[in-house]
Amino acid sequence: MVEPWQLAASANAIILVAYLAISLAIGRGLWRARQWRRNPLGLATAAIFFSCAVHHGSHTVHLMLPYFGWGMHSGIAMRHAFGSSFNVGWDLATAAVAVWYWTLRGRFPALVRGAAVFEDLRLRQAAEATLRASEERYRGIVETTSEGVLLLDGDGRIGYANSRFAEMLGRPAAGLPGTAVVDLVAEADRQVAERELAAAVEGGTRRLEVGLLRDGGRVMWAQIALTARAGDHGVLAMVADVTEQKNVEAQLRQAQKLDAVGQLAGGVAHDFNNLLTVIDGYAALLMARADEASSRDLTMIREAATRAGALTRQLLAFSQTQATEVRVVNVVGLVTGLEEMLHRLIREDIELVVTTAVPSLPVRADPGQLEQVIVNLAVNARDAMPGGGILTIATDHVDVGPELAAQLGGKPGEYALITVADTGDGMSAEVAARIFEPFFTTKEQGKGTGLGMSTVYGIVSQADGHIRVDSEPGRGTVVEVHLPITTAPAVEIPAQPMPQQLATGTETILFIEDDAAVRMLTERILRTAGYHVLSGADGRQALKIVRGNPDISLLVTDVIMPGMNGRQLADRITAMRPGLPVIFTSAHTRGVLTLNPDDPTVAFLEKPYTATGITQKVRAVLDARAASTPTN
């Protein structure tokens, strides 16, 4: 039969081994963590378990002494003390708890194999405070950055989105977590987004540019950098809004396209106007000796040439190379002066309202071109109101600040504002983005050339102005034209009817034109008017003629010529013959000609010109030269 002391000896031996193992495990954890000095709680815990192990070990030794013939008296006394069933039960229970504590080391290694559970509370609080400060610092950076920040899981769903990203999309930030990021991408870009996202999950960094769907269905352009996150299959996405940059790039491409087509249009118009000059000139000469029936046919030819000339002027206005007669014009007077004509242009079911906020708005512009701008805008507005409506043309004085100037692409300052508004069908954003493209029209075939708005754009740009269009389907269109105001007073020059007779004279004229047909026609016209004409095809011939003819009274030269342009030729000839008056002719000057409006002896004659027109211009310049020459 097993004696109670034997059970007690076994239990105390078990307690000895378990407590000693626990104290050594804790001590080893403290040693490895280098916390012997910084972790008094862990050190005290190891000491308690060690002292308990020694205590229960001493009980075991005393109970076993009689077996070895040592300490018989103390051993028998110890056996007697542990003969109580209560003491034996308590030691057995303590042994079971010690063994159970030791078995927990697999599930709770910090209890017996590490020192973290024993660390100083102050150290832990300090570490937690440092961690919170770090988290707040990085959260502040993430929340205040100008870019959107997303944390995506391996399936591409949003785990976290900063407030900036929510602002970009116009959505509440709370509704974004759990959303698949590809669902926020425009349909046309989703395939690219899915491919790049899958590649980023595999590792590395991917960059892409896609459209993101804003609240309401609008699209914003975004550049996204995708980076795989270390330690999981997630992805960090940095999102930058590049919508404005894309708009600027689109405007640049549009400007480059307009410039390229404008250069082409200017070149075509130059050659075409030479042909029109010949057609109209010979038709005019034939009319002088034609019968009534033939005269009517020739009149039709000249009217067709006039209409063709108007078309080339539109092309030149679009290309911004049309020769202009710039002077100070009162925008208010010009608009009110067009009111009667505009009433005839629009239908009776359209109400025309013309308002002026100030009495005078002086700007530097070609009045004829400015009238063309208003007429083109009015005609477009009329066509946009097939069922009738209200056409409003208003003028006002505005101060353009830096913000608006940046939107217009100009400089801050005082501007004359011409607003043309209609209550018509309006335009979609896609159509409005293309209205300045040459030959783009929404009208039926045969009802529009597509040059109206591109002409307006060219004229306004040539006058250092800016144009802005605001339109929505079903809500009409508002076109704003801004022209810089000048401090010089406007000079109203009354229009005079074109005389029908050739202006005659007997002076010697040097005429230089590289187009043979135009040269032959103009020689004939000037000789018919009584002038002595010396002609040449280029600058080299012109200089040779000047050297051999000292009695030349006037130089008439084309501007665009091979080898030496008209401006260069005039400079060389006037250096040889100071004070010689000059008339330049062209339809497309390509920016090489700038005239002084205060000098009447240097003039410009736009092609195509008529027989009456060139003789009148020649006579006017010669008379101005004579008036400016002092008499003895």
DSSP 329: E
pLDDT at 119 over 60: no
**pLDDT at position 1, please?**
58
Task: Look up residue 105 and give its two tokens.
Answer: 């080391």
Beta-bridge partner residues of 239: 148, 224
Q: Are strands 327-330 and 362-365 parallel, antiparallel or unpaired?
A: antiparallel
pLDDT tens-place string over residues 62-105: 777 776 666 555 666 666 666 677 777 887 888 888 888 777 76
pLDDT at 294 over 60: yes
Give the confidence band of 556 by pLDDT, cuts at 50, 70, 90. very high
Which residue type sits at 234?
A: G
What is the arithmetic mean of pLDDT over 141-168?
79
Q: Give the integer Cα–Cα distance in Å for 442 and 149.
A: 43
CA distance from start to end of the chain = 163
Mean model confidence pLDDT for the chain:
79
**pLDDT at position 145, please?**
74
- Lowest mean pLDDT across 72-76, 124-128, 129-133: 72-76
Specify the higher pLDDT residue, 598 or 625.
Answer: 625
- Lowest mean pLDDT across 104-118, 154-168, 298-312, 349-363: 104-118
pLDDT at 435 over 60: yes
**pLDDT at position 372, please?**
81
**pLDDT at position 495, please?**
42
**pLDDT at position 45, please?**
79
Which residue type sits at 514?
A: D
Report the largest interatomic distance among the alpha carbons of the chain, rounded to a whole angstrom.
166
Q: Give the integer Cα–Cα distance in Å for 229 and 231.
A: 6
What is the arithmetic mean of pLDDT over 451-465?
80
pLDDT at 109 over 70: no
Closest to 4 in 3D by CA, of 91, 94, 93 = 91
- Radius of gyration for the alpha carbons in the chain, expressed in angstroms and rounded: 48
Q: Spell out the SS3 assignment of 347-365.
A: CCCEEEEEEECCCCCEEEE
Residues 6+ apart with CB under 8 A from 181: 150, 152, 156, 157, 158, 193, 197, 237
Residues 6+ apart with CB under 8 A from 164: 143, 145, 146, 147, 148, 149
pLDDT at 585 over 80: yes
Specify the higher pLDDT residue, 569 or 327.
Answer: 569
What is the arithmetic mean of pLDDT over 581-594?
76
Do 413 and 363 meet the contact criterion of CB atoms below 8 Å apart?
A: no
Specify the higher pLDDT residue, 59 or 184.
Answer: 184
Task: Look up residue 566 and give its two tokens.
Answer: 């008209």
**pLDDT at position 499, please?**
41
pLDDT at 7 over 50: yes
pLDDT at 583 over 90: yes
pLDDT at 507 over 90: yes
DSSP 489: P
Give the confidence band of 321 by pLDDT, cuts at 50, 70, 90. low
